[in-house]
Each structure stands twice: as C-alpha cells, then as structure tokens.
Chain A
Amino acid sequence: GAVVSQHPSRVICKSGTSVKIECRSLDFQATTMFWYRQFPKQSLMLMATSNEGSKATYEQGVEKDKFLINHASLTLSTLTVTSAHPEDSSFYICSARPPWGLNYGYTFGSGTRLTVV
C-alpha cells in the first residue's frame, strides 16, 4: 500500500512554455501532498505543501506565480512550472503521507526530470 505515482518522469520543454507535473496517490486519499525540488548532487528542498480544496502553502523564497499548485481532488496534486527558464531545470519530487496511522512514513513519487532548453 501507499503508492504515489508521478508523471511524467522526464520532460523537455522550450524556454517560455509551461509544464505540468502530476502527482497521484493510488491507494489512499491524500489531503496533503508535498512538492520538493532537488538540484544535482544536492538534497531535497521543500517547495510547497499542497492542500486539497485550498491554497498551497509555499516555502520562503519560492515564487507562487512561477510554481502553480492545484490540489483539486483527494488523489491528485499538480505542479505547473509557468514560463519555464533554463534555471528551472531540476528534479521535482512529490510526496504524501497515508492517513492510516500517524506513525506511517511519507511516500514519494519517482520524480520528474525537467529540462528547459
């Protein structure tokens, strides 16, 4: 149990275009999902917390208008990178924590490698 699916796994886009990344919880409902960004050879940095039915909570320094998050259902959160630039190229990972038991760990998607050319 506790599977998080992330799509696409890789995407290449032209500078100035927008890219949407999907994160789905397959076997549980996730009222909260998390979006991380990972630069090469670096750790994961939390970008924002996605809340079902309400606005996302962004970490300090993350541009809300650049990284649009929508959590329209209990099983789907999307991250849209708007007007992408080469510096947005990175590895993006989503995460969620199943509701069964407070002591269950967080489950991560397999990540999306975004390359902006």
Chain B
Amino acid sequence: AQSVTQPDIHITVSEGASLELRCNYSYGATPYLFWYVQSPGQGLQLLLKYFSGDTLVQGIKGFEAEFKRSQSSFNLRKPSVHWSDAAEYFCAVRYGNKLVFGAGTILRVKS
C-alpha cells in the first residue's frame, strides 16, 4: 500500500540554522511527491513538488527537496530558517488522482 512516513513529529531549530525534514515513501512506480506547509488553523500551501527530471527541486520561501530513489526519500531542506517558518509540514505522494499524506512534522523556531 502507498504510504508516507515522516519520522519526526516535532523539530526545534534555532533561527538562522539549517533545517532538514525527513520523508520516506512507499510507492511501486515513479512517485509524484509534494511538500506542503500548514499554519495553525489554515489550509495547506504547496512548497514544492517532484514529478521527474532533476532530483533536486527548488520551491518557494527558500526551500528545496531532494528525491533519492535508492532511499525512497524526499527530504525537505532550508539553509537558514526564519521565525516565520514555524508551522507544520506535510509530505505527500500522489496515488492515482489522490494525495496520501504523512503524519506531519511540527517545526518550532527558537530565537
């Protein structure tokens, strides 16, 4: 079955520090992968997506993600975190016409 695992429920980083959020997926074919961000009480905003081609994907707000087929991973990174990045981040894989989400990682930024 298709699944997405985000092993870290919470992550706390200092402002200005680098960030990596982990995502592993289980999918038989070439995956379509997404990262979304959700602020409290809000909907989801697309950060970036991977369908094919270059395995390093650039997104909005300075985020990037790297697709590694051998590791079934699609980790999200940002070189320098800002306080406004505090939110919940969801990794998702498209299965047919649907999205399957991971459990999410809550990012806390300390000053």
Contacts and interface: CB of A to CB of B under 8 A. Distances in A.
Interface of A: 4, 6, 32, 34, 42-46, 49, 91, 93, 95, 97, 103, 105-111, 113
B44 A113 contact: no
B86 to A, nearest CB: 15
Q: How large is the interface on B (under 10, 10 to 19, 20 to 34, 35 or more residues)?
A: 10 to 19
A110 B41 CA distance: 8
Say whether chain B's binding surface is mostly helix, strand, loop, or mixed. Answer: strand
A11 to B, nearest CB: 13
25 contacts: A4-B43, A34-B98, A43-B102, A43-B103, A43-B104, A44-B44, A44-B90, A44-B101, A46-B100, A49-B97, A93-B43, A93-B44, A95-B44, A95-B99, A103-B51, A105-B34, A105-B46, A105-B49, A106-B34, A106-B99, A107-B46, A109-B43, A110-B42, A110-B43, A111-B43
Contact of B97 (A6, A32, A93): A32
Contact of A49 (B51, B98, B104): B98
Interface of B: 34, 36, 41-46, 49, 51, 90, 97-104
A97 B94 CA distance: 12
Contacts of B46: 105-107
Given A6-B43, A49-B98, 4 more contacts: A43-B102, A103-B49, A108-B36, A111-B42
A110 to B, nearest CB: 4
A108 B44 contact: yes
A87 B24 CA distance: 31
Nearest to B94: A106
A107 B100 CA distance: 14
A116 to B, nearest CB: 17
Nearest to B44: A108
Contacts of B90: 43-44
